[in-house]
Amino acid sequence: MFNVSKIRVDFPILNRKVNGQPLVYLDNAATSQTPKQVIDAIVDYYSNYNANIHRGVHTLSQEATEKYEQARIKIQKHLNAAKPQEIIFTSGTTHSINLVASGFSFLLKKGDELIVSALEHHSNIVPWQMLCERTGAILKVIPMNEEGELLMDAYYTLLSDKTKLVFCNHVSNALGTVNPIKKIIDAAHKVGAAVLIDGAQAAPHIKADVQALDVDFYTVSAHKLCGPTGVGMLYGKEAWLNKLPPYQGGGEMIAEVTFEKTTYAELPHKFEAGTPNICGGIAFGVALDYMNAIGFDTIAVYEQELLDYATEQLLAIDGLRIYGPAKNKTSVISFNIAGIHPYDMGSILDKLGVAVRTGHHCAQPIMDFYKIPGTVRASFCFYNTKEEVDVLVAGVKRAISMLL
């Protein structure tokens, strides 16, 4: 049985006060909080077996290597990847996307086409624009509608034998839209294009099955799902990862080095130059264990309840508009109140202990589409409660009374 009070005990930060008020943390889409199981794993690593991995004969190095490689296998199983070497540790989604974009710069030629969705985070736009500048490839955009959904018919007409790569997020961080990624992947494959799905926002809510999706690349940042910052992963189909050249050169990613010629290590090491975030990788695995012990189905049901409750309460407020779809979304509410700048709303909520995000959420094209400078975004995690939603709603009403 899901018991939110019991869950909250695992998160020490939820006990703190902000501006003299109990913290109501509703900025989970930016980063989630960390349970003590993950904090303990970090302390354990630095207290007991901090060592560099892969090349040590000594016990500490072997222990660290074993735990790090176990974490890779946990991630592999979590995403149902066929092989552990298809999981590349990175510093997060941004790094993962840049790795793939860098590799494709050797595979593209002038006039090749790439397709991006209108709902992307800047980290799934800018690396591809840089790639287009380097290669002469052309970037095309799948448009969106007022409900924050992609126009799939327009997508199908963009596809052609010139399309080499399609990239799209699984879930929009700005609106919460769950995109029809299976349809996107299948249609791209029909014209021979590869697909990268940015799973940064989906990962805390949806357990993706990369084999069932038949996706070519999938990215995750650990800090969105109760893990530490600065670590994440890239899933890539083995055939694709073998085809892409290494992203960075250095230690760990080589087979043999001479001044005449260097040969590269096998997967996954080919893409893991230098000393990685060893502790972070291990803690990422512990975070997945933690979330899987609660269960992603259980989390989804509870978060939907919170989302429905918060949506109803907020929509009852005069002049409040929620951006994005009414259904098929994760627990994210992006809203504005007519006549109030999101920054002013966010600042007053902070005074009341409520942490929300304000601004363009690294998705300026979405804000341009709605012709707004930004939104107030409340995003919920499984440790949030209906009482916290009540505090948010009361805070929004109070801010309106002060600002209008």
Q: Is 32 in the site for ligand PMP (CB under 6 A)?
A: no
CA distance 155 to 202: 21
Of the candidate spans 44-52, 118-126, 130-138, 375-383, the one that interacts with ligand PMP by CB under 6 A turns out to be 118-126
Residue 118 Cβ vs ligand PMP, minimum distance, rounded to whole Å: 13
- The site for ligand PMP, by CB under 6 A, has a size of 14
Query: What phi, psi does 361 have (nearest 5°)?
Result: 55, 35
Residue 119 Cβ vs ligand PMP, minimum distance, rounded to whole Å: 9
Q: Is 236 in the site for ligand PMP (CB under 6 A)?
A: no
Considering the candidates 132, 279, 362, 381, report the single residue annotated as catalytic.
362
Nearer to ligand PMP, 103 or 176 (CB): 176
CA distance 133 to 212: 34
Nearer to ligand PMP, 108 or 178 (CB): 178
CA distance 91 to 307: 30
Q: What share of the chain is helix, strand, coil (3-state, %, to 5)?
A: 45, 20, 35
CA distance 363 to 374: 9
Burial code of 384-402, b = ≥16 C-beta within 10 A, e = fewer? bbeebbebbbebbbebbee
The token pair that represents 404 in the structure block: 């209008």
CA distance 307 to 330: 8
Is 381 considered catalytic here? Answer: no
Residue 221 Cβ vs ligand PMP, minimum distance, rounded to whole Å: 3
CA distance 375 to 207: 28
Of the candidate spans 116-124, 126-134, 207-215, 365-373, the one that interacts with ligand PMP by CB under 6 A turns out to be 116-124
The token pair that represents 289 in the structure block: 């264990």
- 163-182: contacts with ligand PMP (CB under 6 A): 169, 173
Nearer to ligand PMP, 64 or 222 (CB): 222
- 294-323: contacts with ligand PMP (CB under 6 A): none
Beta-strand runs (E) in 260-317? 262-264
Residue 234 Cβ vs ligand PMP, minimum distance, rounded to whole Å: 11
Q: Can you state the angle between helices 126-135 and 93-104, rounded to 10 degrees?
A: 10
- Convert residues 193-232 into a mask of x (bound to ligand PMP by CB under 6 A) and - (unbound): -----x-xx-------------------x----------x
- 345-364: contacts with ligand PMP (CB under 6 A): 362
Residue 353 half-sphere exposure toward CB, CA atoms < 13 A: 17
Of these, 76, 102, 117, 123, which contacts ligand PMP (CB under 6 A)? 123
Would residue 54 be called left, alpha or beta, if left means φ above 0 and alpha means ψ between -120 and 50 degrees? left
- 73-112: contacts with ligand PMP (CB under 6 A): 92-94
Query: Cβ–Cβ contacts within 10 Å for residue 359, how many?
Result: 17
- Convert residues 362-381 into a mask of x (bound to ligand PMP by CB under 6 A) and - (unbound): x-------------------
Chain residues binding ligand PMP by CB under 6 A are 92-94, 121, 123-124, 169, 173, 198, 200-201, 221, 232, 362
Return the active site residues.
Answer: 362
